[in-house]
Protein backbone atom coordinates (compact mmCIF):
# COMPACT_ATOMS: atom_id res chain seq x y z
CA UNK A 1 0.00 0.00 0.00
CA UNK A 2 3.11 2.19 0.27
CA UNK A 3 2.50 5.73 -1.05
CA UNK A 4 -0.86 4.76 -2.60
CA UNK A 5 -2.27 8.28 -2.17
CA UNK A 6 0.88 10.08 -3.28
CA UNK A 7 1.46 11.08 -6.92
CA UNK A 8 4.75 10.81 -8.81
CA UNK A 9 5.95 14.25 -7.70
CA UNK A 10 5.24 13.37 -4.07
CA UNK A 11 7.10 10.08 -4.38
CA UNK A 12 10.08 11.78 -6.00
CA UNK A 13 10.11 14.28 -3.17
CA UNK A 14 10.12 11.45 -0.61
CA UNK A 15 13.26 10.01 -2.19
CA UNK A 16 14.85 13.47 -2.23
CA UNK A 17 13.99 14.16 1.42
CA UNK A 18 15.09 10.70 2.54
CA UNK A 19 18.46 11.04 0.85
CA UNK A 20 18.95 14.51 2.31
CA UNK A 21 18.18 13.31 5.85
CA UNK A 22 20.45 10.29 5.40
CA UNK A 23 23.27 12.75 4.75
CA UNK A 24 22.44 15.40 7.35
CA UNK A 25 20.48 13.75 10.17
CA UNK A 26 21.57 10.10 10.30
CA UNK A 27 25.26 10.89 11.07
CA UNK A 28 24.14 13.13 13.96
CA UNK A 29 21.45 10.84 15.38
CA UNK A 30 23.82 9.18 17.83
CA UNK A 31 24.94 12.54 19.26
CA UNK A 32 21.30 13.59 19.64
CA UNK A 33 20.35 10.39 21.48
CA UNK A 34 23.49 9.66 23.53
CA UNK A 35 24.89 13.14 24.11
CA UNK A 36 21.60 15.05 24.34
CA UNK A 37 23.14 17.35 21.73
CA UNK A 38 21.12 20.45 20.93
CA UNK A 39 23.94 21.60 18.66
CA UNK A 40 23.49 18.50 16.51
CA UNK A 41 19.76 19.18 16.20
CA UNK A 42 20.34 22.83 15.38
CA UNK A 43 22.88 21.94 12.69
CA UNK A 44 20.32 19.77 10.89
CA UNK A 45 17.61 22.42 11.26
CA UNK A 46 19.99 24.90 9.65
CA UNK A 47 20.74 22.49 6.82
CA UNK A 48 17.02 21.89 6.21
CA UNK A 49 16.35 25.61 6.17
CA UNK A 50 19.16 26.39 3.80
CA UNK A 51 17.94 23.66 1.45
CA UNK A 52 14.45 25.21 1.46
CA UNK A 53 12.62 22.35 3.18
CA UNK A 54 11.16 24.51 5.96
CA UNK A 55 9.25 26.54 3.33
CA UNK A 56 7.18 23.61 2.09
CA UNK A 57 4.01 24.99 3.68
CA UNK A 58 4.43 28.40 2.10
CA UNK A 59 4.11 28.37 -1.68
CA UNK A 60 4.93 32.07 -1.92
CA UNK A 61 8.32 31.45 -0.27
CA UNK A 62 9.26 27.99 -1.57
CA UNK A 63 11.76 27.81 -4.43
CA UNK A 64 12.41 24.06 -4.66
CA UNK A 65 11.63 21.30 -7.15
CA UNK A 66 7.93 20.92 -6.31
CA UNK A 67 5.35 22.69 -8.47
CA UNK A 68 2.72 22.65 -5.70
CA UNK A 69 4.35 22.28 -2.27
CA UNK A 70 2.11 21.81 0.76
CA UNK A 71 1.21 19.91 3.88
CA UNK A 72 1.62 16.60 2.06
CA UNK A 73 5.31 17.32 1.63
CA UNK A 74 5.79 18.71 5.15
CA UNK A 75 4.24 15.44 6.39
CA UNK A 76 6.62 13.40 4.24
CA UNK A 77 9.51 15.38 5.72
CA UNK A 78 8.14 14.69 9.21
CA UNK A 79 7.80 10.97 8.51
CA UNK A 80 11.28 10.57 7.07
CA UNK A 81 12.81 12.58 9.95
CA UNK A 82 11.00 10.59 12.64
CA UNK A 83 12.09 7.36 10.96
CA UNK A 84 15.67 8.34 11.83
CA UNK A 85 15.17 10.31 15.06
CA UNK A 86 11.86 11.43 16.55
CA UNK A 87 13.46 13.94 18.96
CA UNK A 88 14.81 15.87 16.00
CA UNK A 89 11.47 15.72 14.21
CA UNK A 90 9.81 17.28 17.28
CA UNK A 91 12.03 20.32 16.88
CA UNK A 92 11.21 20.96 13.23
CA UNK A 93 7.50 20.22 13.75
CA UNK A 94 7.45 22.87 16.46
CA UNK A 95 9.30 25.33 14.23
CA UNK A 96 6.76 24.77 11.44
CA UNK A 97 3.88 25.12 13.93
CA UNK A 98 5.34 28.51 14.89
CA UNK A 99 5.92 29.59 11.28
CA UNK A 100 2.37 28.63 10.25
CA UNK A 101 0.44 31.27 12.27
CA UNK A 102 3.17 33.85 11.65
CA UNK A 103 2.70 33.41 7.91
CA UNK A 104 -1.10 33.46 8.05
CA UNK A 105 -1.93 35.91 10.83
CA UNK A 106 0.98 38.28 11.58
CA UNK A 107 1.14 41.83 10.29
CA UNK A 108 3.49 42.27 7.35
CA UNK A 109 6.10 43.95 9.54
CA UNK A 110 6.05 41.21 12.20
CA UNK A 111 5.99 38.44 9.61
CA UNK A 112 9.00 39.93 7.82
CA UNK A 113 10.83 40.32 11.12
CA UNK A 114 10.46 36.77 12.43
CA UNK A 115 9.36 34.34 9.71
CA UNK A 116 12.40 34.40 7.39
CA UNK A 117 14.80 33.31 10.13
CA UNK A 118 12.62 30.32 11.07
CA UNK A 119 12.06 29.04 7.53
CA UNK A 120 15.72 29.63 6.65
CA UNK A 121 16.73 27.46 9.63
CA UNK A 122 18.73 30.18 11.36
CA UNK A 123 16.29 30.80 14.22
CA UNK A 124 14.04 28.51 16.26
CA UNK A 125 10.36 28.98 17.08
CA UNK A 126 8.18 27.74 19.94
CA UNK A 127 4.44 27.56 20.68
CA UNK A 128 3.23 28.28 24.22
CA UNK A 129 -0.19 26.81 25.02
CA UNK A 130 -0.07 24.26 27.86
CA UNK A 131 -0.12 25.42 31.49
CA UNK A 132 -0.16 23.72 34.91
CA UNK A 133 -3.98 23.92 34.95
CA UNK A 134 -4.68 23.88 31.21
CA UNK A 135 -3.77 21.24 28.65
CA UNK A 136 -6.32 19.98 26.14
CA UNK A 137 -8.90 22.01 28.10
CA UNK A 138 -7.77 25.51 27.18
CA UNK A 139 -10.76 27.00 29.03
CA UNK A 140 -8.67 26.72 32.19
CA UNK A 141 -5.90 28.94 30.79
CA UNK A 142 -4.54 31.37 33.38
CA UNK A 143 -2.08 33.37 31.25
CA UNK A 144 -3.28 36.94 30.84
CA UNK A 145 -2.50 39.22 27.90
CA UNK A 146 -3.56 42.77 28.76
CA UNK A 147 -3.60 45.76 26.43
CA UNK A 148 -1.86 48.90 27.71
CA UNK A 149 -3.47 51.67 25.65
CA UNK A 150 -1.12 54.35 27.00
CA UNK A 151 1.91 52.59 25.53
CA UNK A 152 0.13 50.65 22.75
CA UNK A 153 1.60 47.41 24.08
CA UNK A 154 0.44 44.00 25.25
CA UNK A 155 1.58 42.84 28.69
CA UNK A 156 1.83 39.10 29.35
CA UNK A 157 1.68 37.34 32.73
CA UNK A 158 1.69 33.55 33.03
CA UNK A 159 3.54 30.23 33.16
CA UNK A 160 3.60 27.73 30.31
CA UNK A 161 4.91 24.18 30.58
CA UNK A 162 5.77 21.23 28.33
CA UNK A 163 6.97 23.73 25.73
CA UNK A 164 9.15 22.24 23.00
CA UNK A 165 12.26 24.36 22.27
CA UNK A 166 11.53 26.16 25.57
CA UNK A 167 14.87 27.71 26.49
CA UNK A 168 16.46 27.57 23.05
CA UNK A 169 13.87 29.29 20.83
CA UNK A 170 14.35 32.74 19.36
CA UNK A 171 10.65 33.57 19.07
CA UNK A 172 7.59 32.40 21.03
CA UNK A 173 3.93 32.46 20.01
CA UNK A 174 2.01 32.80 23.26
CA UNK A 175 -1.69 32.12 23.78
CA UNK A 176 -3.46 33.83 26.66
CA UNK A 177 -6.72 35.38 27.81
CA UNK A 178 -7.37 38.96 26.70
CA UNK A 179 -11.03 39.07 27.78
CA UNK A 180 -11.64 37.20 31.07
CA UNK A 181 -15.39 38.01 30.88
CA UNK A 182 -15.87 36.20 27.55
CA UNK A 183 -17.28 32.64 27.37
CA UNK A 184 -14.67 29.84 27.27
CA UNK A 185 -12.84 29.83 23.95
CA UNK A 186 -13.95 33.35 23.01
CA UNK A 187 -11.58 35.61 24.91
CA UNK A 188 -8.20 34.19 23.86
CA UNK A 189 -5.50 35.93 21.81
CA UNK A 190 -2.04 35.07 20.49
CA UNK A 191 1.00 37.33 20.54
CA UNK A 192 4.59 37.07 19.33
CA UNK A 193 7.28 37.37 22.02
CA UNK A 194 10.93 37.49 20.92
CA UNK A 195 13.77 36.02 22.96
CA UNK A 196 15.39 38.57 25.26
CA UNK A 197 12.13 40.32 26.15
CA UNK A 198 12.38 41.56 29.77
CA UNK A 199 10.39 39.30 32.08
CA UNK A 200 10.84 36.20 29.89
CA UNK A 201 12.45 33.29 31.77
CA UNK A 202 12.79 29.50 31.71
CA UNK A 203 12.38 28.05 35.21
CA UNK A 204 12.82 24.37 34.35
CA UNK A 205 13.81 21.88 31.68
CA UNK A 206 12.03 18.53 31.86
CA UNK A 207 13.68 15.11 31.72
CA UNK A 208 11.68 12.67 29.60
CA UNK A 209 11.86 8.90 29.25
CA UNK A 210 12.49 9.40 25.54
CA UNK A 211 13.07 12.08 22.89
CA UNK A 212 16.56 12.82 24.18
CA UNK A 213 18.08 15.91 22.64
CA UNK A 214 14.71 17.65 22.39
CA UNK A 215 14.57 20.65 24.76
CA UNK A 216 11.21 20.78 26.58
CA UNK A 217 10.48 22.87 29.64
CA UNK A 218 8.73 25.83 31.24
CA UNK A 219 8.43 29.36 29.92
CA UNK A 220 7.41 32.14 32.29
CA UNK A 221 6.13 35.60 31.37
CA UNK A 222 6.43 38.11 34.18
CA UNK A 223 5.09 41.38 32.82
CA UNK A 224 6.58 40.83 29.35
CA UNK A 225 5.75 43.74 27.05
CA UNK A 226 5.50 43.56 23.28
CA UNK A 227 4.28 46.13 20.72
CA UNK A 228 0.59 45.95 19.83
CA UNK A 229 1.56 44.96 16.27
CA UNK A 230 2.81 41.63 17.71
CA UNK A 231 -0.79 40.47 18.08
CA UNK A 232 -1.70 37.70 15.63
CA UNK A 233 -4.97 38.37 13.86
CA UNK A 234 -7.64 40.26 15.77
CA UNK A 235 -8.06 40.57 19.55
CA UNK A 236 -9.86 37.56 21.05
CA UNK A 237 -9.39 35.54 17.83
CA UNK A 238 -6.83 33.19 19.33
CA UNK A 239 -9.10 30.14 19.42
CA UNK A 240 -9.63 30.24 15.66
CA UNK A 241 -5.90 30.60 15.09
CA UNK A 242 -5.26 27.70 17.48
CA UNK A 243 -7.73 25.41 15.66
CA UNK A 244 -5.89 25.97 12.38
CA UNK A 245 -2.53 25.41 14.06
CA UNK A 246 -3.67 22.20 15.76
CA UNK A 247 -5.15 20.80 12.52
CA UNK A 248 -1.80 21.40 10.84
CA UNK A 249 0.13 19.97 13.81
CA UNK A 250 -2.01 16.83 14.06
CA UNK A 251 -1.45 15.92 10.42
CA UNK A 252 2.28 16.48 10.91
CA UNK A 253 2.10 14.22 13.98
CA UNK A 254 0.49 11.61 11.76
CA UNK A 255 3.70 11.71 9.76
CA UNK A 256 5.75 11.45 12.97
CA UNK A 257 3.82 8.38 14.07
CA UNK A 258 4.27 6.76 10.67
CA UNK A 259 8.03 7.33 10.73
CA UNK A 260 8.40 5.84 14.20
CA UNK A 261 6.13 2.88 13.34
CA UNK A 262 8.02 2.13 10.13
CA UNK A 263 11.36 2.30 11.93
CA UNK A 264 10.19 -0.22 14.53
CA UNK A 265 8.61 -2.47 11.89
CA UNK A 266 11.80 -2.62 9.84
CA UNK A 267 13.77 -3.73 12.91
CA UNK A 268 11.18 -6.41 13.71
CA UNK A 269 11.03 -7.82 10.17
CA UNK A 270 14.84 -7.96 9.86
CA UNK A 271 15.08 -9.83 13.14
CA UNK A 272 12.26 -12.23 12.25
CA UNK A 273 14.04 -13.16 9.00
CA UNK A 274 17.51 -13.68 10.47
CA UNK A 275 17.06 -15.00 14.04
CA UNK A 276 16.75 -18.76 14.36
CA UNK A 277 14.78 -20.49 17.12
CA UNK A 278 13.83 -24.15 17.46
CA UNK A 279 15.32 -24.99 14.09
CA UNK A 280 13.56 -22.30 12.04
CA UNK A 281 13.67 -18.60 11.33
CA UNK A 282 11.76 -16.73 14.00
CA UNK A 283 9.32 -15.34 11.42
CA UNK A 284 8.10 -18.88 10.63
CA UNK A 285 6.47 -19.07 14.07
CA UNK A 286 2.76 -18.26 14.08
CA UNK A 287 2.91 -15.97 17.09
CA UNK A 288 5.65 -13.93 15.40
CA UNK A 289 4.23 -13.67 11.90
CA UNK A 290 0.92 -12.74 13.47
CA UNK A 291 2.65 -9.75 15.11
CA UNK A 292 4.30 -8.79 11.82
CA UNK A 293 0.97 -8.93 9.96
CA UNK A 294 -0.75 -6.84 12.64
CA UNK A 295 1.94 -4.18 12.48
CA UNK A 296 1.83 -4.17 8.68
CA UNK A 297 -1.90 -3.51 8.30
CA UNK A 298 -1.87 -0.88 11.03
CA UNK A 299 0.92 1.01 9.25
CA UNK A 300 -0.98 0.83 5.94
CA UNK A 301 -4.13 2.19 7.60
CA UNK A 302 -2.20 4.97 9.31
CA UNK A 303 -0.52 5.95 6.05
CA UNK A 304 -3.79 6.16 4.13
CA UNK A 305 -5.49 8.22 6.83
CA UNK A 306 -2.55 10.57 7.35
CA UNK A 307 -2.06 11.42 3.70
CA UNK A 308 -5.81 11.67 3.17
CA UNK A 309 -5.83 14.47 5.77
CA UNK A 310 -2.76 16.12 4.20
CA UNK A 311 -4.29 16.00 0.72
CA UNK A 312 -7.57 17.41 2.05
CA UNK A 313 -5.67 20.38 3.50
CA UNK A 314 -3.78 20.92 0.25
CA UNK A 315 -7.08 20.89 -1.66
CA UNK A 316 -8.41 23.75 0.46
CA UNK A 317 -10.24 22.00 3.31
CA UNK A 318 -9.63 23.90 6.56
CA UNK A 319 -11.02 24.84 9.98
CA UNK A 320 -13.73 22.62 11.46
CA UNK A 321 -14.02 20.68 8.19
CA UNK A 322 -10.46 19.43 8.62
CA UNK A 323 -10.72 18.79 12.36
CA UNK A 324 -12.08 15.24 12.16
CA UNK A 325 -9.73 13.86 9.44
CA UNK A 326 -6.75 15.53 11.17
CA UNK A 327 -7.75 14.01 14.52
CA UNK A 328 -8.19 10.57 12.92
CA UNK A 329 -4.77 10.79 11.28
CA UNK A 330 -3.12 11.78 14.54
CA UNK A 331 -4.97 9.16 16.59
CA UNK A 332 -4.37 6.19 14.30
CA UNK A 333 -0.74 6.98 13.37
CA UNK A 334 0.44 7.72 16.91
CA UNK A 335 -1.32 4.70 18.41
CA UNK A 336 0.21 2.63 15.60
CA UNK A 337 3.64 3.92 16.57
CA UNK A 338 3.29 2.80 20.18
CA UNK A 339 1.83 -0.55 19.10
CA UNK A 340 4.66 -1.26 16.67
CA UNK A 341 7.32 -0.11 19.14
CA UNK A 342 5.94 -2.42 21.83
CA UNK A 343 5.58 -5.43 19.51
CA UNK A 344 9.06 -4.92 18.10
CA UNK A 345 10.57 -5.08 21.58
CA UNK A 346 8.64 -8.30 22.15
CA UNK A 347 9.82 -9.84 18.88
CA UNK A 348 13.43 -9.02 19.76
CA UNK A 349 13.18 -10.31 23.32
CA UNK A 350 16.20 -9.38 25.42
CA UNK A 351 17.78 -7.54 22.51
CA UNK A 352 14.74 -5.28 22.44
CA UNK A 353 15.26 -3.87 25.94
CA UNK A 354 19.01 -3.29 25.82
CA UNK A 355 20.64 -0.27 24.18
CA UNK A 356 23.67 -2.36 23.22
CA UNK A 357 21.68 -4.31 20.63
CA UNK A 358 20.12 -1.56 18.56
CA UNK A 359 17.44 1.14 18.56
CA UNK A 360 14.36 -0.85 19.56
CA UNK A 361 14.44 0.33 23.18
CA UNK A 362 14.97 3.95 22.08
CA UNK A 363 12.02 3.78 19.72
CA UNK A 364 9.92 2.24 22.50
CA UNK A 365 10.75 5.18 24.81
CA UNK A 366 10.35 7.82 22.10
CA UNK A 367 7.03 6.51 20.83
CA UNK A 368 5.22 6.84 24.16
CA UNK A 369 5.02 10.62 23.80
CA UNK A 370 3.13 10.46 20.53
CA UNK A 371 -0.38 9.68 21.86
CA UNK A 372 0.02 12.59 24.32
CA UNK A 373 1.63 15.52 22.51
CA UNK A 374 -0.46 17.76 20.27
CA UNK A 375 -3.63 16.60 22.00
CA UNK A 376 -4.05 13.21 23.66
CA UNK A 377 -5.65 10.20 21.99
CA UNK A 378 -8.64 10.78 24.26
CA UNK A 379 -8.95 14.35 22.97
CA UNK A 380 -8.71 13.10 19.37
CA UNK A 381 -11.58 10.69 20.03
CA UNK A 382 -13.62 13.55 21.48
CA UNK A 383 -13.09 15.62 18.32
CA UNK A 384 -14.08 12.67 16.13
CA UNK A 385 -17.20 11.91 18.18
CA UNK A 386 -18.20 15.59 18.23
CA UNK A 387 -18.25 15.59 14.44
CA UNK A 388 -20.26 12.38 14.30
CA UNK A 389 -22.77 13.42 16.97
CA UNK A 390 -23.59 16.98 15.85
CA UNK A 391 -26.82 17.16 17.85
CA UNK A 392 -25.01 16.31 21.10
CA UNK A 393 -22.20 17.80 23.15
CA UNK A 394 -20.17 14.85 24.46
CA UNK A 395 -19.23 15.25 28.11
CA UNK A 396 -15.49 15.52 28.59
Q: To the nearest 10°, the Cα dihedral for 115, 28, 353, 90?
A: 0
Q: Of 33, 89, 249, 335, which residue is the catalytic one?
A: 249
Q: For the chain, what is the radius of gyration of the CA atoms?
A: 21
Q: To the nearest 10°, the Cα dihedral for 279, 283, 286, 292?
A: 170
Asked whether the beta carbons of 116 and 108 are under 8 A apart, the reply is no
Residues 6 or more apart whose CB falls under 8 angstroms from that of 266 comprise none
For the beta carbon of residue 140, count every other beta carbon within 10 angstroms: 12
Q: Which long-range contacts (CB under 8 A, 24 or more apart) does 320-324 make?
A: 320/243, 322/247, 323/243, 323/247, 323/383, 323/387, 324/383, 324/384, 324/387, 324/388
Distance CA 294, CA 296 (A): 5
Known active-site residue 249: yes
For the beta carbon of residue 61, count every other beta carbon within 10 angstroms: 17
DSSP 76-129: HHHHHHHHH-HHHHHHHHHHHHHHHHHHHHS-HHHHHHHHHHHHTTSS-EEEE-
Distance CA 162, CA 250 (A): 17
Distance CA 378, CA 330 (A): 11
Distance CA 236, CA 183 (A): 11
Asked whether the beta carbons of 336 and 301 are under 8 A apart, the reply is yes
Catalytic residues: 249
Amino acid sequence: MRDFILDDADKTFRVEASEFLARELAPRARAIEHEDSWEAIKAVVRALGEAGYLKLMFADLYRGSLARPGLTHATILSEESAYINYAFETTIATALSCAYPLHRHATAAVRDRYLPGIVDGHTIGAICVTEPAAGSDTSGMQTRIEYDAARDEYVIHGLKRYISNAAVADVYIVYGITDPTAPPGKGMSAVVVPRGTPGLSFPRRYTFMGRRGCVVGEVEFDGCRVPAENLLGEPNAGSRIMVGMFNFERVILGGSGLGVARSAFDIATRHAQTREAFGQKLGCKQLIWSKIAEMSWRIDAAELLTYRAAKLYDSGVAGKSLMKPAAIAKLVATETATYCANETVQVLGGDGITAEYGRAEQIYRDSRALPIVGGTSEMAKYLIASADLPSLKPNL
